[in-house]
Amino acid sequence: MGESLNNRMLGLFKGFSKLSREERFARLQQMGAITKDDIKYLKSGGLKNVDLAEKFIENVIGYFQMPMGVATNFVIDNKAYAIPMAVEETSIIAAASKTAKWINEHGSIRTEMLGKNIIGQIQIAKVKDYEAFEAILIENKKSLIDDANREVAAGMVKRGGGVIDMRIRKVPRGETPADGFMAVVHVEADACDAMGANIINQVCEYLKGPIEELTGDKVTMCILSNLVDTRLTKATVTMSGLDDELMEKIEEASLFAQQDPYRAATNNKGVLNGIDPILLATGNDWRAVEAGVHAFAARDGQYRSITTWKRKNGALVGEFIAPVVLGVVGGVTKLHPTATMALNMLSVSGAEELSRICAAVGLVQNLGALRALTTVGIIEGHMKLHIKNLATGAGATEVEMPQLQKRLEDFLSLHKRISLSHAVDMLRDLRAANSSKLAEESN
């Protein structure tokens, strides 16, 4: 995407949060992110017919609607994006958009893929002789891979992928050598633009028979792994011209999350605040990604942050590295009209680009959180945007909403805290004051 087109998109994003829904539709259509048919679909409320749901899951009773918005101001690898995010939590989209704009003013976002292969596992729980088992599989590895590609993964091979490698791991059965060992075969495959869960499971199931026949050992189970450390996604944010005290605070906050698992858990949840909504919008398996991210975060035996922020040569440099294995073909991504629309909005070339976008947004979301936590604090940053939810929860009408929000904002500014009970009490007082005013005017 050229610089002029990027500038045009960023220009259309100016003031986006203050626009009406109709005006947002118009802006997105201007930038080519959505079409007239998309607007019609979104105005209709999306899916209303449960027939499609019956094809996805069992015991269907309806749909659970999730709000979908657009994160703005993102330029990733010199390409501007309108990023669809389906999420219920207040402030996520606002924080991502605000932080992306800040990055545009001071630096850039770069991404890359480290490796391509997904992993399937074949477990032999009670291997008779591990060394002999390993020797037989190494000797027959090429023929096993060729057979799997021909008999099961032919379609994947035609798209440029397929089974690439096999590795054998010796895994302890217990705490001591006396407990013995199991053999675990890792089947590595390039799934191209698919997430690849179904095909890698089929490959492993197919290989079960030949492995048992060759070795005389019994295969216990076959299943993919969500800890895909053979296919990592990396995102890097570099910013210059920042206040040195702010950079130091962010660096210290990052160190806290690296060294303390209690903080790391919340830090990583904040990173996933940026990733999960994109996965949900595009019909990807966010549970698989979360499992992989959390497992990767504990790879050295302690749970740590999947992001780091450091000062380097006067600049602030942030890095995200974790498995984010996604698909843009197959499954819900092509069957659910909202997921298809979201992928079209992103205009991605393939699964790798989608993974890189998610990593970038997760890192940006993390930066926004660290900046807020080390400056204004979580209450002023998050709760100010949560005020509308509190007013709605208290039962304010459309007419009462602006008045109640103003009272809640003033209270938050003064006391640095706010809750639903405050909103309920203020609404009661507001109604009493309005009732008294009406009574006076009628007299």
**pLDDT averaged over 10-residue windows placed end to end, the chain, 443 residues:** 82 94 96 95 82 86 91 97 95 95 97 97 96 97 98 95 97 91 97 93 98 98 97 98 97 98 98 98 96 98 98 97 93 87 95 97 97 80 72 87 86 81 89 82 71
- pLDDT at residue 345 in the model: 96
Q: Which of 179, 195, 225 is the last residue in one of the domains?
A: 225
- Residues 189 and 210 placed together within one structural domain of the fold: yes
Give me the CATH number covering residue 72. 3.90.770.10
- Residues 424 and 307 placed together within one structural domain of the fold: no
Q: Which of 375, 406, 422 is the last residue in one of the domains?
A: 375
- pLDDT at residue 415 in the model: 78
For residue 160, what are the domain limits? 118-225
- pLDDT at residue 389 in the model: 80
- Residues 369 and 386 placed together within one structural domain of the fold: no
Number of domains in the chain: 3
- Residues 10 and 22 placed together within one structural domain of the fold: yes
Q: Token digits for 136?
A: 């037989």
- pLDDT at residue 134 in the model: 97
Buried-state track 410-425, b at ≥16 Cβ within 10 A, e below 16? ebbeeeeebeeebbee
- Residues 250 and 360 placed together within one structural domain of the fold: yes
- Residues 128 and 47 placed together within one structural domain of the fold: no
- Residues 407 and 318 placed together within one structural domain of the fold: no
Q: Which residues are catalytic?
A: 89, 269, 285, 382
Give me the CATH number covering residue 401. 1.10.8
- Residues 220 and 73 placed together within one structural domain of the fold: no
Give me the CATH number covering residue 217. 3.30.70.420
- pLDDT at residue 2 in the model: 67
Strands of 232-239's sheet in order across: 107-114, 232-239, 315-322, 307-312
- Residues 94 and 220 placed together within one structural domain of the fold: no
- Residues 10 and 89 placed together within one structural domain of the fold: yes
- Residues 292 and 169 placed together within one structural domain of the fold: no
- Residues 84 and 141 placed together within one structural domain of the fold: no
Q: Which of 225, 255, 285 is the last residue in one of the domains?
A: 225
